[in-house]
Amino acid sequence: MKHLTLTALIASTLALSACGKKHADQPAPAPAPAPVAAAPSPAPAPAPAPADLSDADRERAHKQAQLDYATMEDKYINDPRAQWAAGATASSTFGDDNGKKPASSNMPDRVVGPVNDDTWTNNHQDIGFDWLETTFAKPVSATEVRVVFNKGVEAVSKLELQDTDGKWNTVWSGLAEAKADERGRRTWFVKTFEKTPYKVKAVKVTLANNVYNNYKEVNAVQLVGD
């Protein structure tokens, strides 16, 4: 009986050992594959460069720019709060250093009234400063000045307002950011500021001649206010 029990115990031990070895010999499960990243969305196609536009597209863009300019100019011209200059004087006029009276086509009074084909032309291309002073029929508490240039808007360096007591007040000075507007025949230099506590009766625009190395041509001046 003892012999049978010992035999059974040895057989059981061998069976457990074989079972454990079987489990140890089994390969470890393969790791789960890493998730595949979604492919990035394709970038939107770039807008066509001007060189890529068709002739028809370029022509349409040109006409749209002209329409935008006309809309802007019409708004300024018909602004009920704006008035045109009633009188004008200037520091120089083209031709006034040749011993003769300058041609009437260049005189400061050419800027009086609404926008048209008339201009005041200064007498200096690149020397010193010139100024144009305009008066207005109705003094107002001003909020904006608009100076219409045919040439030389880049030269504007100072804007002054004169009150009814004759005092000049500088509302802006520096290097103008304005550039010639290629959408139309004229460029509008527009400067907006806080409503003046005094009534404005005149505007003086100073030009730095060397900033725009050529003659300057001003077409008209508007004063905006109430």
- The answer to whether residues 146 and 82 touch, using CB atoms and an 8 Å cutoff, is yes
Does the pTM surpass 0.85? The reply is no
For residue 172, what are the contacts with CB-CB under 8 A and spacing of at least 6?
Answer: 158, 159, 191, 193
Q: Which CATH number fits domain 82-225: 3.40.50.360, 2.60.120.260, 1.20.1630.10, 3.90.1150.10?
A: 2.60.120.260
What is the residue-level pLDDT of the chain in tens, covering all 226 positions?
444 444 444 444 444 444 444 444 455 555 544 444 444 445 555 555 566 788 899 999 999 999 999 999 999 999 999 999 999 999 999 998 877 889 999 999 999 999 999 999 999 999 999 999 999 999 999 999 999 999 999 999 999 999 999 999 999 999 999 999 999 999 999 999 999 999 999 999 999 999 999 999 999 999 999 9
Distances (CA, A) of 189 to 36, 129, 186: 59, 18, 10
